[in-house]
Amino acid sequence: MYLPNEVKKAISMLEKSGYEAYAVGGCVRDSLLGKIPTDYDVTTSAFPEETKSVFKNEHVIETGIKHGTVTVLINNYPIEITTFRIDKNYSDNRHPDSVEFTRSLKEDLSRRDFTVNALAYSEKTGLVDMFGGLSDIEHKIIRCVGSPDARFEEDALRIMRGLRFASCLGFDLEEKTAASIYKNRELLKNVSAERLFSELKKLICGKDAAKILVEHAETLSVLIPELLPLKSFEQHHFRHDKDVLGHTAAVLQNVSPVPALRLAALLHDIAKPLCQSFDENGTAHYFGHAPLSAQIAEEILLRLKSDNETKNAVCLLIRHHGDRFPAEPKAIKRMLSKIGPKSFDDLITLMRADDLGKRPEYYPGEEFFQNYKNIAAKIIADEECFSLKNLALNGRDLISAGFAPGPEMGRILSALLEAVLEEDLPNQKEKLLDYAIKNFLQR
Ligand code: ATP
Ligand code: MG
């Protein structure tokens, strides 16, 4: 197994002082999967003060000294070194009441959540696999270390971590682990919104997100109760061949794994059960479901303590996901003006995924969507006008021409932009100014 030289050096310095030390957790798992780990954690039998003394000539930061973690900088490369520990009594289903340091690697590995995360490695000892983690990696299985019920009761965030690892690694949840996730799902209510949201974003960006969404809808509905009514909600529409949850899952999998886009896919039809009506042919319609879904998505994202940028981007996409407009420069400029160039590309991506989630015979084809993106890209590359930023006239020009500064000016500029978008006026300074003087200058 590959370890960076700095990690090898940290481990060997601890060993030379008589302690055990290993790379542990995610880095071992990812290495065995042939992935490059994002960071390397080291676990050691040295107690924190002992670790500090081993690295007394290096830069040591006491990042989590209470829990036994220090960060050592070796050639500026940060390595988290944590003492073997036992976590004691989780009275709040999330945090251990206290931690106890131990000299036993086995005790440390047994506090870890899943077998695939309970592997340790050093050059001296090789792989330490006390809970069958290697076999579970080979068989692509997420399995709790020890009794799943006990482990999820200790720390309910592990429920989300389990689903997240299954989604991101493309692994199956072992039967008892899966059953226990379902049984203990309500414990997620004891976990902070920030932690849940952070796991949720990773989960929905995983390669098996659709599968996890469908198979664990009840559990995910503890975070987002609005999801549950989508399950088994029949669409009663000729374009659809899946219930709303199944459709949502397909849309999710068909947008790129970027949190804002995946969140938009997850929530794009969240209001459908509230908007269903039937026409005389027995076909269902969902008038107004896009703006209502955007509104509900906003409530959900506020509850989950989403950052504003993500929330706004997601809600904008959802609000417009059902807007149909022709693939013509004029209509595309309108949309660019409404939602901005970044969201435009994402919106087309979402619309494409939305159609891919329906009966295949109604799919308009890749070219159909690519055409929108191409036309928009050309409008942007040609610096054509679709926002006040690229209007050939600005506030300063108006003031020079004798207009009074103030809020009225904003309205005048918007009216000019509107005329340009309508193609009533060319985006030329002289023409815009003439028009403004003729229509808006009060003498
Ligand atoms: P990634 O960094 O890719 O999210 P990871 O497995 O490295 O995955 P971290 O959150 O960085 O996850 O945690 C490092 C290790 O600490 C894990 O591999 C696991 O052994 C242990 N661990 C982390 N969180 C928990 C938890 N809530 N309960 C038990 N063990 C945990
Ligand atoms: Mg990690």
**DSSP-based three-state secondary structure for 24:** strand
Name which of 344, 322, 320, 343 is nearest 332 in CA terms: 344
* Helix, strand, or coil (residue 2): coil
| Residue 93: pLDDT over 90 | no
Q: Measured between alpha carbons, how far is 166 from 182 in angstroms, rounded to an integer?
A: 15
Give me the sheet containing 21-24, strands edge to edge.
59-64, 69-74, 77-83, 41-44, 21-24, 119-122, 126-129
Which ligand minimizes its atom distance to the CA of 165?
1
Indicate if ligand 1 lies below 6 Å from the C-beta of 201.
Answer: no
Q: Which of 85, 105, 117, 128 to mutate to test the pocket of ligand 1 (most atoms within 8 A of CB)?
A: 117
User: Residue 443: its pLDDT value, please?
Assistant: 64
Percent of the chain, pLDDT > 90? 96
CA angle 257, 263, 264 (to 5 degrees): 105
What average pLDDT does the segment 198-225 reach?
98
Mean pLDDT across 339-343: 95
Q: How far is the C-alpha of 159 from the C-alpha of 136, rounded, in Å?
A: 18
Mean of the pLDDT values across residues 73-78?
Answer: 94
pLDDT digits over 231-251, tens only? 999 999 999 999 999 999 999
> Residues 184, 157: contact at Cβ < 8 Å?
no
What CA–CA distance (Å, rounded) separates 51 from 21? 10
Instruction: Report the pLDDT averaged over residues 49-66.
Output: 95
Q: What is the three-class DSSP state of 295?
A: helix
Provide long-range contacts, Cβ within 8 A and 24+ apart, for 122-125: 122/11, 122/15, 122/20, 122/21, 122/22, 122/23, 123/3, 123/8, 123/11, 123/12, 124/11, 124/15, 125/20, 125/22
Q: What pLDDT was estimated at residue 89? A: 83
In the prediction, which pLDDT does 390 show? 92
**Average pLDDT of the chain, as a whole number:** 96
CA of 98 to the centre of ligand 2 (A): 22
Report yes or no on whether pTM surpasses 0.85. Answer: yes
| Closest Cα to atom 1 of ligand 1 | 26
Query: Which pLDDT score is estimated for 20?
Result: 98
Q: Which pair of structure tokens corresponds to residue 143?
A: 């399995």
d(CA 73, CA 190): 36
Quick check: 230 and 248 in contact, CB under 8 A? yes
Ligand nearest to the CA of 198: 1
Tokens matching residue 182: 């379902």
**Residue to mutate (ligand 1; options 32, 107, 113; most atoms within 8 A of CB):** 113
Q: Is 117 in the pocket of ligand 1 (CB under 6 A)?
A: yes
Nearest ligand atom owner, CA of 115: 1
Tokens of 237: 């529409």
d(CA 18, CA 42): 16
Identity of the residue numbered 8: K
Residue of the CA atom closest to atom 3 of ligand 1: 26
**pLDDT at residue 128 in the model:** 98
Q: Identify the pLDDT of residue 94.
A: 85
Percent of the chain whose pLDDT exceeds 70: 100
305-325 per-position pLDDT tens digit: 999 999 999 999 999 999 999
Q: Residue type for 191, please?
A: V
User: What b/e sequence results for 196-230 when a residue is b if at least 16 CB atoms lie within 10 Å of its CB, and e otherwise?
Assistant: bbbbbbbbbbbebbbbbbbbbbebbbbbbebbbbb
Axis-axis angle for helices 259-267, 308-320 (nearest 10)? 50
Residue 26 Cα to ligand 1 midpoint, Å, equals 6
Angle between helices 329-339 and 308-320 (to 10 degrees): 150
Please tell me the distance from the alpha carbon of residue 406 to that of residue 119, in angstroms, as a whole number: 66
Exposure string of 335-361, with b = 16+ CB inside 10 Å and e = fewer, is bbbbbbeebbbbbbbbbbbbbbbbeee
Is 125 a residue whose pLDDT tops 90?
yes
pLDDT digits (tens, 9 = 90+) for 420-434: 999 999 999 999 999
Mean pLDDT of 121-137: 98
| Distance in angstroms (rounded) separating the CA atoms of residues 34 and 304 | 34
Per-residue CA distances from 114 to 89, 147, 182 (Å) = 19, 11, 17
Q: What residue's CA is closest to ligand 1, atom 5?
A: 26
Position 95 scores a pLDDT of: 87
DSSP symbol at 388: G
In sequence order, what DSSP letters do the residues of 55-74 get, joined into one string? Answer: TTTSEEEEEEGGGTEEEEEE
Query: CA-to-CA distance for 254 and 210, rounded, in angstroms?
Result: 9
* Ligand 1 center–CA 202 separation, angstroms: 14
- Residue 185 has a CB neighbour count (10 Å cut-off) of 20
Is the Cβ atom of 26 under 6 angstroms away from ligand 1? Answer: yes
158 touches ligand 1 (CB under 6 Å): yes
For residues 74 and 77, what is the distance between their CA atoms, to the nearest angstrom?
A: 5
State if residue 108 touches ligand 1 by the CB under 6 angstroms criterion: no
Ligand nearest to the CA of 35: 1
Q: In a 10 Å sphere around its CB, with 0-12 CB exposed, 13-18 middle and 19+ buried, how is residue 67 labelled? A: middle
For the cut 70, the answer to whether the pLDDT of residue 415 exceeds it is yes
Instruction: Please work out, in degrees rounded to the nearest 5, the angle formed at the alpha carbon of residue 91 by the alpha carbons of 85 and 95.
Output: 50
pLDDT tens-place string over residues 372-381: 999 999 999 9
User: How many whole angstroms separate alpha carbon 107 and alpha carbon 95?
Assistant: 18
HSE on the CB side for 212, CA within 13 Å? 32
pLDDT attached to residue 389: 93
